[in-house]
Amino acid sequence: MTAKQSTQPKLRVSGATKVYNTRSGDLTAIDRCSLDVMDGEIVSIVGPSGCGKTTLLWSMSGLHGLSSGEVLLDGVPVTGPNPEIGLVFQEANLLPWRDLDANINFPFEIKGTKPDRAWINELLHRVGLDGFGGRYPRELSGGMQQRAALVRALSYKPSLLLMDEPFGALDAFTREEMNRLVEEIWMDTHTTIVLITHSIEEAIFLSDRVVVMSPRPGRVASIHEIPFPRPRSLDIMASSEVFNLMNTIKMEIVGSRQSRYPQGGTAAAPQPARAAE
Ligand SMILES: Nc1ncnc2c1ncn2[C@@H]1O[C@H](COP(=O)(O)OP(=O)(O)OP(=O)(O)O)[C@@H](O)[C@H]1O
């Protein structure tokens, strides 16, 4: 199965530049970053640490503004929190004094809207959390908490799901389970997903395209199409094609870091911070 085809991108990031004003001066985190994500696509963003992946994702979410450039969702500028956009972070961020049901209800309480209980129950069932609604976060494992965060993010049926290294804190086995779960949910809902990950394997397993960012200030350095049909079997993931793709992407990231640190770890002269364009 492939992503739905459509002519207008679901998400368009156009010339996105973000300059942070820090105590030591202006710091350009991303610089004229442009990317289209089509409806129903899963796109992963990888790149060296500090290249601006989170900055780019937060810009997509509307949670922080750009210095220049724009983000469009279905052609409409994203200028603040948007109910069409769901978010999952590395930490589940469940409120410890609320049980699971109350955590999932929380965004609805804030907005004063009624949750679709049937949909939430279906999601809880799908992620294997049936019967856990009365449990508190401390009674749930890390993987269960992250599954709950996924349910919370999907509970209001966003058309775009943004995930920032969502499974980075989980053990390898649980992480693989979560990847399968995201694949399964995507096959049911075809929700457009943008995912930041440090795992190239995870990026290849989940994505239609993998975007590699350059070192800071981050820009789109390359984009790799991942042509394998879903569900993606272990055989596919163990194939020489995937192995070669993983190495190519890894070398691009390592290569970009080496050109930044050419003397075996000695940093190259820092680029002067640029003002927003
Ligand atoms: N609120 C902020 N204020 C000032 N500088 C910031 C802020 N947020 C991020 N930065 C800086 O912007 C740059 C990009 O950070 P960002 O977190 O977006 O990168 P990243 O690629 O997600 O990093 P990592 O892979 O290590 O999580 C870094 O140099 C970081 O120190």
- pTM score above 0.80: yes
Per-residue DSSP letter, 197: -
Ligand 1 neighbour 29 (Cβ under 6 A)? yes
CA-58 nearest atom, ligand 1: 18
Q: For the CA atoms of the chain, what is the radius of gyration?
A: 19
Q: Which of 50, 52, 10 is nearest to 31 (CA)?
A: 52
Q: Indicate the top mutation candidate among 17, 27, 67 to test ligand 1's pocket, ranked by most ligand atoms within 8 A of CB.
A: 27
User: What does DSSP say about strands 42-46 and 209-213: parallel, antiparallel, or unpaired?
Assistant: parallel
Ligand 1 neighbour 197 (Cβ under 6 A)? no
Q: What is the pLDDT along the chain (277 residues), one digit of tens a residue?
A: 444 455 899 999 999 999 999 999 999 999 999 999 999 999 999 999 999 999 999 999 999 899 999 999 999 999 998 989 999 998 889 999 999 999 999 989 988 899 999 999 999 998 889 999 999 999 999 989 999 999 999 998 999 999 999 998 888 888 898 899 999 999 999 999 999 999 999 999 999 999 999 999 999 999 999 999 999 988 899 999 999 999 999 999 998 766 666 554 444 444 444 333 3
Give me ligand 1 centre to Cα 72, in Å. Answer: 22
Token pair for residue 20?
């942070």
Distance of CA 60 to the CA centre of its chain: 10
Ligand 1 neighbour 52 (Cβ under 6 A)? yes
**Residue 164: strand, helix, or coil:** strand
Q: Answer for the pair 51, 215: CB distance below 8 angstroms, yes or no.
A: yes
Domain ranges of the chain: 1-84+159-277, 91-157
Report the distance separating Cα 137 and Cα 18, nearest Å: 35
267 CB-side CA count, 13 A: 5
Would you say domain 1-84+159-277 falls under CATH 3.40.50.300?
Answer: yes
Q: Which of 161, 150, 182 is nearest to 37 (CA)?
A: 161
Ligand 1 neighbour 20 (Cβ under 6 A)? yes
Tell me the ipTM for this assembly. Answer: 0.98
Ligand 1 neighbour 33 (Cβ under 6 A)? no
